[in-house]
Amino acid sequence: MKNKLLITSALVAGGLTLSSVANAEISGHMRFGYAFTEGKSNANTSGTQGFNKETQIDMSTSGELSNGIGFKAGASFEAEGTFNDNDSTLRDDIDDDEGVFIELAIAEGTRLHFGQDKFNNLDDSATPVTGTALTTITDAGGDSGSDRNPSSPYGSFGIGLAHATPFGEISALYVPQNGDSGNATNHTSADIDGKMAYELKFKGNLGVEGLNVVAGINERKLDLDDEAQGTKRDGEGAVYGASYNFGSVAVGASKMKDDKETGVDKESTEYGVTFAVNDAISIGLGKMKTEQSDKTVDVEATIATVGYNLGPIAVEFNYADVENHGFTAGDVTGGSIQTVVKF
């Protein structure tokens, strides 16, 4: 449930006065649970067990500007134990890279977006799942290498344009400096040495009820101010897939490709089927295979999930069997019980 607040604010700085009255919404979720893993023959992990958590707060406001153009703006904060920031530093405070944005309704069905981590992106899949995404479960016991995100630049500040059609939404994102998440101090900037990136995406049903299609590409320029590049190169990513909902049953598949700036090529293929037993219980089964050009083995995973919806609270039961976990000759099984509460 979303709580609506009436907020009045005024900002006076250097002769500029900004006043607004708008309805604001605060929403979010908390997730906590218990997970375990066990290494099988020749495994690269002996096993883990313990509790985990995640808490997220989302804030947004919407209305009309003084010129009559509709707008929406917001920000999010997340806490989930430790996390790696954009400098790959392990931190245990609040993750403020969950994003901020301002969006303008410049025409019917068309929105202009400014911000970070809040726009359409290729960290997406058409594969039907129950509960947690497939890649999250296959990461049991540590990094299994099953990353489904083709290095999407959506975590950096950029400008996006999206247009809704009868067949689905088409969007384009431009990022002037890939890696610039706005973590510089107020009124200062950080030099990211160019590294422009763009991303194009389509998501919709092509006018067919029950169909879900996801397709998109991105390109990330290396541009390091004439520094020696060695084996490095410009990066490219792609996602495409489709699923169909027959009512209580949904089936689909997706493919993700990422030619990384490091010269490594990565490719993941996943299949999924879900079945809604009733309004409260759903079950799912998925398969995922990930290949990487600098590895001699592929990661293959089988995932089973059960979701139980209790209204404001949902419970997930997940199980994964991962072969060649972390691109090594070792297998791992794992499972988790997750409780999700939205507010």
Please report, for the domain that includes residue 209, its CATH number.
Answer: 2.40.160.10
Question: Quick one: average pLDDT of 259-274?
Answer: 93
Q: What pLDDT shows up at residue 281?
A: 95
Given a cut of 80, is residue 14 above it in pLDDT? no
In the chain, what percentage of residues exceed pLDDT 70? 83
Q: Could you tell me which residues come within 8 angstroms of residue 199 by beta carbon, excluding any fewer than 6 positions away? A: 121, 122, 152, 153, 154, 172, 173, 175, 216, 217, 218
Rounded Cα distance between 157 and 70, Å, is: 22
In this predicted model, which residue has the larger pLDDT, 325 or 17?
A: 325
Structure tokens at 263: 């010269």
Q: Could you tell me which residues come within 8 angstroms of residue 142 by beta carbon, excluding any fewer than 6 positions away? A: 45, 48, 325, 326
What global pTM score does this model have?
0.85
Per-residue pLDDT band at 334 (split at 50, 70, 90): confident
Per-residue pLDDT band at 215 (split at 50, 70, 90): very high
Mean predicted lDDT score pLDDT of the chain? 85
Q: Which of 108-122, 126-140, 207-221 has the lowest mean pLDDT?
A: 126-140
In this predicted model, which residue has the larger pLDDT, 235 or 52?
A: 235
Q: Which of 10-19, 122-131, 193-202 has the lowest mean pLDDT?
A: 10-19
Given a cut of 50, is residue 11 above it in pLDDT? no
Q: Which of 84-98, 133-147, 150-164, 206-220 has the lowest mean pLDDT?
A: 84-98
Range of the domain at 281: 3-342
In this predicted model, which residue has the larger pLDDT, 87 or 293?
A: 293
Q: What pLDDT shows up at residue 3?
A: 47
Question: Quick one: average pLDDT of 264-269?
Answer: 94
For residue range 295-304, what is the model confidence (pLDDT) as tens digits?
Answer: 999 999 999 9
Given a cut of 80, is residue 196 above it in pLDDT? yes
Domain total of the chain? 1
Structure tokens at 44: 């690269």
Rounded Cα distance between 253 and 262, Å, is: 28
CA angle 87, 46, 48 (to 5 degrees): 60
